[in-house]
Amino acid sequence: MSHPLLTSVASLQITPQHDNKTALVFIEGDHETRYTFGELRAQVRRCGHALRAAGIQRGQLVVLVIPHRLELVYHFWGALHIGAVPSIFPFLSDKLNPERYFDSVRRLVQHSGVRAVITTRDFEGALQTTLTGIDVLLLTLEQFAGANAAPENGDTPLADAHDLAFLQHSSGSTGLQKGVMLAHGAVLRQLTSYAQAIQLDNDDVIVSWLPLYHDMGLIAGFILPLLAGVKLVLMSPFQWVRDPKILLRAIQRHRGTLCWLPNFAYNFLATRIRDKDLDGLDLSSMRAFINCSEPVYAESHRLFAERYAAYGLRADALQTCYAMAENVFAVTQSAFGTAPKIDIVDRRALMDEQRALPASGAAPALTLVSNGAPIAGCRVRIVDMQRQDLPERHVGEIAIHSASLMDGYYRRPEESAAVMSDGWYFTGDMGYLAAGELYITGRKKDLIIVGGKNIYPQDIENLLNDISGLHPGRASAFGVPNAQLGTEDIAIVAEVDASALDDDDRRAAIQREIRARVAQNTDMIARYVHLVSAKWLIKTSSGKIARSANRDKFLQEVLNADETPNASLL
């Protein structure tokens, strides 16, 4: 991807022969809008010119509270173009609590010294109320609608490799959290290394529905293709959730070659589309669907591969990646041309000894999928609680050293120092190395420790997806203190059909099935099983179940309250 004209992320200065090449196809409903690289740069200059005229200067933070549409694309690049620092905020949706959402907007703007917030006219009133008393510009897209094009001599971006390019924020149950500071040079080094790892080619076509406030969508599904001169086909995540087949049809129509997906999307695409909606589908152009951002499950790949093999999907097109905003994006990538490695390990050794020993005989086993080897310029270590190196196949915290690491968390020096030392970033993720490849086992902070045994909550949650009456992907497992025994108990909160909550026998049957599956697969007992209706569970802005927030809610509303008929306690 390297090109001598790319000195900053703001450049968009692909060689002149790219001017007439399609840069972006934006899908809204049944309509597609196309831009060449030349046309896109003209829009970027126009937005940059309008932002500068509004008083925004180099180095100032600009927060974009804009739905997933073309204006978000223009204003993100426009801010970069004038040397400002854009940050995309998730737009309010029905999965976010409005009170928490607006509180997080206010706290972010106050804490970060935001110069301007750009939004839509429909959202302006709510944000005016939220930001009362704060010295910040509140601008609307409508104010920029009639902006004139910038003069051609204004086409030189005002940033260099050492300047802060943009902030990525971790997703959370209250909106945006820590702002990850990424310099232009770090971003370009990441993109160069990652393009090499995935063998990116000028003829590739990247297709994405991912939200742009998340690192996978922002980097792999937005910045990478537009800086590499590769065609991007982009659609709204909200439209995809409502009608998942649009992704597959877009791949067919545009001969897509690369697509990044979180693990749940493989199950979603395998089970939520009717056969009649797949008539004539052709996925043979795809080089890779890359599983990233969540623990990878072999079963999810199997379901997806079986469903779409008849439509031209090759088995080796299912690939994996380990990535995080703190490293811009990718840390590891599986090797194209062959399926990712599978590691079948002894479950008891993993739980009791924190060792990933190959399973043998009839011993209970777990199947783990490799996330591949580190990309160029990135090193990975596995360390213990004292940050000392662990041998191969020992589970510990993943630490990375990279040419594309963040400069720290924005205006959070203490939190930055807690996770960075001597050029290493300590991720908080748990995993192990085997034959040079990385396997992820879970998050350190999410571990449930029962009598010295390590239980990974996502493994419990994954066991429950096909229980009748329980909504797939809507369960949260976590540990709660047992002061009497000096350990933790397993608690599970699961969302079920409203009818199940009103039927004592059905509710009890679901609770029994949950407990049976946990016991059969972990040799542990779930002490608490709490069934809830829709919208009880708290989610992050990227749609994931927020375990710590749900744990706090469970402790406050269930354990500290009278027992409810929906809760089952052993």
Q: What is the pLDDT of residues 170-209, one digit of tens each?
A: 655 444 468 999 999 999 999 999 999 999 999 999 999 9
Q: How many CB atoms lie within 10 A of CB 276?
A: 6
Helical spans, DSSP H, in 150-244: 184-197, 215, 224-228, 237-242
> Per the domain annotation, does 4 fall within a domain?
no
Print burial letters for 148-174: b (CB count within 10 Å at least 16), e (below 16). eebeeeebebbbebebbbbbbbbbbbb
Domain count, the chain: 2
Q: pLDDT-based confidence at 506, cuts 50/70/90?
A: very high
Task: Tell me which residue of 445, 443, 467 sits closest to 518, measured CA to CA.
Answer: 467
Q: What is the mean pLDDT of residues 13-34?
A: 83
What pLDDT does residue 130 have?
Answer: 96
Last residue of a domain, which of 444, 464, 479?
444
pLDDT at 160 over 70: yes
Q: Are 371 and 357 in contact (CB under 8 A)?
A: no
Assigned token pair, 369: 């999928």
pLDDT at 95 over 80: no
User: Average per-residue pLDDT in the chain?
Assistant: 89
Q: Which residues pair with 260 in a beta bridge?
A: 290
Q: What is the mean pLDDT of residues 215-226?
A: 95
Same domain, 438 and 470: no
Same domain, 472 and 540: yes
Instruction: Report d(CA 332, CA 445) in Å as an integer.
Output: 22
Pairing outcome for strands 231-235 and 22-28: parallel
What pLDDT does residue 556 have?
Answer: 85
Amino acid, res. 91: F
Q: Are 354 and 452 in contact (CB under 8 A)?
A: no
* Three-state DSSP state, 501: helix
Same domain, 440 and 487: no
Amino acid, res. 277: D
Q: pLDDT-based confidence at 94, cuts 50/70/90?
A: confident
- In the sheet that 330-333 helps form, which strands lie side by side, from edge to edge? 31-36, 22-28, 231-235, 205-208, 258-261, 288-291, 318-323, 330-333, 373-374
Same domain, 426 and 463: no
> Per the domain annotation, does 399 fall within a domain?
yes
What domain range includes position 438?
341-444
> Per the domain annotation, does 457 fall within a domain?
yes
Counting Cα atoms < 13 Å in the Cβ hemisphere of 391 gives 4
Task: Tell me which residue of 123, 8, 107 sits closest to 64, measured CA to CA.
Answer: 123
Same domain, 424 and 460: no
Same domain, 353 and 374: yes
Torsion angles phi and psi, residue 79, rounded to 5: -65, -45
Q: pLDDT-based confidence at 158, cuts 50/70/90?
A: low
> Per the domain annotation, does 428 fall within a domain?
yes
Whole-prediction pTM: 0.86
Last residue of a domain, which of 416, 444, 472?
444
From residue 38, alpha-carbon distances to 82, 232, 425, 455 in Å are 18, 14, 39, 53
* Alpha-carbon Rg for the chain in angstroms: 24
Residues 380-403 have pLDDT tens digits of 999 999 999 999 999 999 999 999
CATH code, domain with 549 = 3.30.300.30
Torsion angles phi and psi, residue 292, rounded to 5: -155, 160
Q: Which residues pair with 258 in a beta bridge?
A: 206, 288
CATH code, domain with 387 = 2.30.38.10
Q: What is the mean pLDDT of residues 520-535?
A: 89
pLDDT at 439 over 90: yes
> Per the domain annotation, does 115 fall within a domain?
no
Same domain, 456 and 560: yes
Q: pLDDT-based confidence at 26, cuts 50/70/90?
A: very high
What pLDDT does residue 16 have?
Answer: 54
Last residue of a domain, which of 397, 416, 444?
444
Instruction: Report d(CA 85, CA 166) in Å as an integer.
Output: 5
Q: Which residues contact 17 (CB under 8 A, 6 or more apart)?
A: none
Same domain, 524 and 466: yes
Q: Are 292 and 323 in contact (CB under 8 A)?
A: yes
> Per the domain annotation, does 230 fall within a domain?
no
Same domain, 439 and 453: no
Look at phi and psi of residue 445 and say left if phi exceeds 0, alpha if psi is from -120 to 50, else beta.
alpha
pLDDT at 86 over 60: yes
> Per the domain annotation, does 31 fall within a domain?
no
Which stretches of 341-484 are assigned E, i.e. beta strand?
342-346, 365-369, 373-374, 378-383, 396-402, 408-409, 420-421, 424-434, 437-443, 448-450, 453-455, 470-482
CA 303 to chain centre: 22
Same domain, 466 and 408: no
What pLDDT does residue 118 have?
Answer: 97
> Per the domain annotation, does 464 fall within a domain?
yes
Percent of the chain with pLDDT over 90: 66
Q: Are 44 and 71 in contact (CB under 8 A)?
A: no
Residues in the chain: 570
Q: Are 273 and 248 in contact (CB under 8 A)?
A: yes
Q: pLDDT-based confidence at 147, cuts 50/70/90?
A: low
Q: Which residues pair with 448 in a beta bridge?
A: 455
Same domain, 433 and 475: no
Residues 298-344 have pLDDT tens digits of 999 999 999 999 999 999 999 999 999 999 999 999 999 999 999 99
Which stretches of 209-293 are assigned E, i.e. beta strand?
231-235, 258-261, 288-291
Same domain, 460 and 530: yes
What pLDDT does residue 522 have?
Answer: 81
What pLDDT does residue 377 have?
Answer: 96
CA 276 to chain centre: 31
Q: What is the mean pLDDT of residues 353-373?
A: 92
